[in-house]
Amino acid sequence: MQHFPYHIRYRLYAKWKNVSYAKNPLLMVTKAETIHTSRYILKRLTKENVKPFGRQIGRVAHCNPAVIFDQILFQIQRYDNLIIPIVNALKYLGLLSLDVLSYCIIEALSDPEKAKQKEEDTNIAWWFQVLATFCGHIYKKYNIELSGLLQYIVNQLKANKSTDLLILKEVMLNLLNSSLIDWQI
């Protein structure tokens, strides 16, 4: 899959996630079971038990990555203290799962039903800040291709939506912090 450009891979992931599960009754049951399992895992995940639950996330993500990543991103948007344990738990994922995670992050960021700024003022919405922080941590720790995320940011800038620069800022800060620490040593 790595040999395909990101836009073809993301189109395949979108079809896999949105069309395949809706058409096949057996996949609907599998999706419901995956949602139930992922909720069970995420309720019990803490920084002390990352290893066993990370392995469980890896097992579930191997079969149904898009389903579990939707649940993970939903939980992260509600509870920001889960960012570090989840980032550490994702070390058991394969390359395909990490690529699907990248697609799911972009899909969550581009949700048209959620406002990226609070209605009353110019402050950035909580869910968007948390997802941007998660992006920074996940792209720092794992070797995930940035081209899809960067193209999303460029498209948002072309549409005069500069709020998405927060994502770029978080990713760059995390990447630069790790390289500055390596350079100082």
Q: What is the pTM of this model?
A: 0.89
Q: What is the C-alpha separation between 54 and 59, in angstroms, rounded?
A: 9
d(CA 66, CA 41): 16
Dump pLDDT digits (tens) for 7-57.
Answer: 999 999 999 998 988 898 999 999 999 999 999 999 999 889 999 999 999
Is residue 183 predicted with pLDDT exceeding 60?
no
Flag whether pLDDT at 184 surpasses 80. Answer: no
Q: CA-to-CA distance for 158 and 165, rounded, in angstroms?
A: 12
Are 10 and 144 within 8 A, CB to CB? Answer: no
pLDDT, tens digit, 9 for 90 and up, residues 44-76: 998 899 999 999 999 999 999 999 999 999 999
Work out the mean pLDDT of the chain and round it to a whole number: 89
pLDDT category at 179 given cuts 50, 70, 90 is low
* Residue 147: both structure tokens together: 């081209």
What tens digit of pLDDT does each residue of 85-101 get?
999 999 999 999 999 99
